[in-house]
C-alpha cells in the first residue's frame, strides 16, 4: 500500500482530525489513536477510525506524558486537534516533541489557527465558514445563508487539506531530514479551498452580481439547478455549454431553434423547466436523459446512490465491517498500489493499549502497574458490550 511504513499519532477528536487520520490509514499508514482515558464521547461519535489502533491514557499524569513522548519519538506524524496552548500545558508542545524527534511532522488542526484574536474562541464548521467569507456565498436568492452541513471546513478545508499538507511536509523532509509544525486553521482552509470563487469574481460570465443565488453556479440560472419530479424526487441539471443545453431541450421535448427557449431567457425558462420536470417521475426522466448528453442526472439519496449502475460497476460503495452501513470506497483508485479495505473494525478505546506499550519498550509488569494505577486503560474486544 502507498503509505506503508508511515507512523502516525492521532489525538482523539472529531471530524477533521479523524478524517485526516483515516485518509492516511486507508492507504497503509499505521495510525494510533490516542484516546483520553474515561472519555467515551469522542470515541462513540468517531466513525472515521477504521484500521486504526487505540491506546487509552490519562494525559494528566506524568507517567502518561512519558508514554506519549515515547510514542512521539518513534512517529512520523502527529495530528493534534486541540485549542492553542493545550499541548504546551501538558508539556507536549512542538518545542518539546520536535527536540526529541527532529523528523516529526506536527500537524495542529484548530478552528482559527494558533494565534490571532479568535484563536482561543470555540467554534464549529458554520462559524469558520462565516468568517472565511464562504458562508455568504451559500444559499438561495433573497434568503439567508445556508450552511452546506459540515463539509467545507471540517472535511475539505480541514482533514483533507491537513493530509495534503502532511504529505507535502514529508516530501520536503526527504531533502532536509527535518520535520516541522503545520498550523492549519479550518477558517483559512475553507477560504483556500474556495480560491476559485475569489479569483473569478471579475468574470461576469460566472458572477452576475453580488447576491448569492443569482449567479451561474449557485442556482441563479435555469440550466444549472435542481428540479422536482412528479414523484417528489429531483433531477440535477448542469447544462452550461450550448451543446449540452441543446441536448437538454431535446430531452425535455422543446425546440432548440425557438428563441423563447434561449439559454439567456433565464426567468421564463426556469418556470418552464419547473413545470416540465413535474410531468414525469425521476425514473422516467433518467431513462430519457440516458439517451442524451445533456448533463442531466437524478439526485440520488443515500440508498439509491449505491444501487446506481455506474457506481456499482466502479465499486464506488461498499458496506462497513458490520455490513449494516453503506460507506464510500476510498478515492482515487491507484493503478499499482493495493486498494485499501474499508472492512477493518473501528477500534474500541484502549483496545490496543498493551500491544502498543510493548512495542515502545514497556514490560508486562510495567503495563500491569500502569493499569493498576489507572494511568492507562486496556479493553478486550471479546469482553466489551459495545
List, by residue number, the catalytic residues: 124, 154
C-alpha distances in angstroms, 143 versus 13, 15, 125, 140, 319? 34, 28, 20, 6, 38
Handedness of CA 369, 373, 376, 378 (dihedral sign): positive
C-alpha to C-alpha distance for 267 and 312, rounded to whole angstroms? 38
For strands 234-238 and 224-228, give the pairing. antiparallel
331: how many CB neighbours lie within 10 A of its CB? 8
C-alpha to C-alpha distance for 57 and 51, rounded to whole angstroms? 20
Angle at 49 between CA 360 and CA 18, to 5 degrees: 90
- 7 forms beta bridges with 30
C-alpha to C-alpha distance for 165 and 153, rounded to whole angstroms? 15
For strands 296-298 and 224-228, give the pairing. unpaired
- 49 by DSSP, 3-state: which? coil
Collect all residues with Cβ–Cβ distance below 8 Å to 196 and sequence separation of at least 6.
none
C-alpha to C-alpha distance for 8 and 381, rounded to whole angstroms? 23
C-alpha distances in angstroms, 136 versus 41, 142, 147, 211? 32, 12, 9, 9
Angle at 118 between CA 117 and CA 122, to 5 degrees: 155
The number of helices, as runs of H, and strands, as runs of E, in the chain is: 16, 12
| Block residue for cell numbers 500491569 | 368
Amino acid at each position: 500500500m502507498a503509505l506503508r511504513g508511515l507512523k502516525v499519532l492521532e489525538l482523539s477528536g472529531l471530524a477533521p482530525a479523524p478524517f485526516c487520520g483515516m485518509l492516511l490509514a486507508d492507504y497503509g499508514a499505521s495510525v494510533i489513536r490516542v484516546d483520553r482515558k474515561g472519555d467515551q464521547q469522542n470515541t462513540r461519535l468517531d466513525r472515521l477510525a477504521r484500521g486504526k489502533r487505540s491506546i487509552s491514557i490519562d494525559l494528566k499524569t506524568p507517567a502518561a506524558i512519558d508514554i506519549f513522548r515515547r510514542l512521539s519519538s518513534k512517529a512520523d506524524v502527529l495530528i493534534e486537534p486541540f485549542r492553542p496552548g493545550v499541548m504546551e500545558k501538558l508539556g507536549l508542545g512542538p518545542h518539546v516533541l520536535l527536540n526529541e524527534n527532529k523528523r516529526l511532522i506536527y500537524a495542529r488542526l484548530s478552528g482559527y489557527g494558533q494565534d490571532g484574536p479568535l484563536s482561543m474562541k470555540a467554534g464549529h464548521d458554520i462559524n469558520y465558514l462565516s468568517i472565511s467569507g464562504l458562508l455568504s456565498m451559500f444559499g438561495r436568492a433573497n434568503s439567508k445563508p445556508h450552511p452546506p452541513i459540515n463539509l467545507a471546513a471540517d472535511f475539505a478545508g480541514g482533514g483533507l487539506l491537513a493530509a495534503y499538507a502532511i504529505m507535502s511536509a514529508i516530501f520536503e523532509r526527504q531533502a532536509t531530514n527535518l520535520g516541522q509544525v503545520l498550523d492549519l486553521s479550518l477558517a483559512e482552509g475553507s477560504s483556500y479551498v474556495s480560491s476559485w470563487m475569489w479569483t473569478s469574481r471579475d468574470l461576469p460570465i460566472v458572477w452576475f452580481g453580488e447576491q448569492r443565488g443569482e449567479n451561474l453556479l449557485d442556482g441563479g440560472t435555469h440550466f444549472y439547478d435542481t428540479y422536482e419530479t412528479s414523484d417528489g424526487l429531483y433531477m440535477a441539471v448542469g447544462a452550461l455549454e450550448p451543446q449540452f443545453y441543446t441536448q437538454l431541450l431535446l430531452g425535455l421535448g422543446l425546440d432548440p431553434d425557438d428563441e423563447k427557449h434561449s439559454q439567456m431567457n433565464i426567468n421564463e425558462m426556469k418556470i418552464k423547466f419547473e413545470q416540465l420536470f413535474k410531468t414525469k417521475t425521476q425514473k422516467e426522466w433518467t431513462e430519457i436523459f440516458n439517451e442524451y448528453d445533456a448533463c442531466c442526472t437524478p439526485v440520488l439519496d443515500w440508498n439509491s446512490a449505491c444501487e446506481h449502475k455506474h457506481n456499482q460497476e466502479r465499486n464506488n460503495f461498499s458496506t462497513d465491517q458490520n455490513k449494516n452501513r453503506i460507506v464510500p470506497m476510498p478515492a482515487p483508485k491507484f493503478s499499482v498500489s493495493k486498494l485499501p479495505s474499508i472492512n477493518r473494525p473501528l477500534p474500541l478505546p484502549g483496545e490496543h493499549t498493551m500491544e502498543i506499550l510493548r512495542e515502545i519498550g514497556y514490560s508486562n509488569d510495567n503495563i500491569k502497574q500502569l493499569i493498576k494505577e489507572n494511568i492507562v486503560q486496556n479493553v478486550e474486544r471479546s469482553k466489551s458490550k459495545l
